[in-house]
Chains A and B, each alone.
Chain A
Amino acid sequence: MSTGNFMKLSFASRSENEAFARVAVAAFVTQMDPTLELLNDIKTVVSEAVTNSIIHGYENKPDGVVLLEAEIDGDTVTITVADEGRGIEDIDLARQPLYTSRPELERSGMGFTIIENFMDELDVSSEPGKGTRLRMKKRIESKKALFN
């Protein structure tokens, strides 16, 4: 851990917390003075990661805990979303565009693809039966940098 600014949250694996999680990270990242578009990207990836933990990690059971962390290091933010759910057996397969393990739930299978597109780096570690951790990095170009 660097000496940068950070925040940590843990919350119940309930779908109503998806909006809370993305707004919390967006509010934290606001100090980096991001463009509105970037802020929207950040909200989207947090939403994707948290939704994955709730639907796939905890299979929609509300008694799990989702851990959310964000850390600012210079102009880069690192966001971590972790759960102690069922884990992912085949990470490469899960990351394929349009793949979903739950087609009956009308999932688009685009979650990981969106995260990969919107962020600079994505690292997924998972162990079946133990849980999943997503680490996502993004360099924030501030509005000031764009105007100067």
Chain B
Amino acid sequence: MSLQVELEQHRNVLVVRLRGELDHHTADIVRFKMEDAILRGRVEHVVLSLKDLQFMDSSGLGVILGRYKLIKSRGGKMVVCDVHSGVKRLFELSGLFKIISFYETERSALAGLEVVS
């Protein structure tokens, strides 16, 4: 049971794909990898792709909210795509659904960001 973080950059957009289980134990990996890529690279916006995220709890919400605030403070946008129903319920419960834009697919998320960038 672990978590893999895959990073891919499309111009000024960082695509982050999470595979596995995001909890308190694995949250640090996401925090460090994303922070590193955002602060080093020329990243303005982030697409968080959760197609292969099998499990998430409130520790996951915390780390996602933290990165959302970082991107927002730098004038960028963070969007989320491909969310499973279990993970979606947590986003709804926490109110994150109201502040973060959600897309069906990575492609539509990227297309959505092209409009703002």
Interface residues of A (CB under 8 A from B): 15-16, 18-20, 22-23, 37, 40-41, 43-44, 47-48, 51, 54-55, 105-111, 113-114, 117
CA distance A107 to B59 in the complex (A): 6
CA distance A108 to B22 in the complex (A): 14
Q: Do A23 and B93 form a contact, CB below 8 Å, given A18-B25, A37-B85, A108-B65?
A: no
By the criterion CB–CB under 8 Å, are A51 and B57 in contact? yes
CB within 8 Å: A-B pair count: 69
Interface CB pairs A-B, < 8 A, 15: A15-B25, A19-B23, A40-B86, A41-B86, A44-B86, A47-B24, A47-B55, A51-B58, A106-B66, A108-B61, A108-B62, A109-B58, A110-B58, A110-B94, A114-B93
Tell me if B37 is interfacial: C-beta within 8 Å of chain A: no
Chain B interface size, as a band, is 20 to 34
Interface residues of B (CB under 8 A from A): 1, 21, 23-25, 27, 31, 55, 57-59, 61-63, 65-66, 85-86, 90, 93-94
By the criterion CB–CB under 8 Å, are A108 and B94 in contact? yes
CA distance A55 to B59 in the complex (A): 11
Q: Do A44 and B90 form a contact, CB below 8 Å, given A108-B59, A108-B65?
A: yes
Q: Which residues of B contact A44 (CB under 8 A)?
A: 55, 57, 86, 90
By the criterion CB–CB under 8 Å, are B65 and A15 in contact? no
Q: Do A51 and B93 form a contact, CB below 8 Å, given A106-B31, A108-B61?
A: no
Q: Closest 4 A-B residue pairs measured CB to CB?
A: A15-B25, A19-B1, A108-B62, A108-B61
Q: Which residues of A contact B59 (CB under 8 A)?
A: 47, 51, 107-108
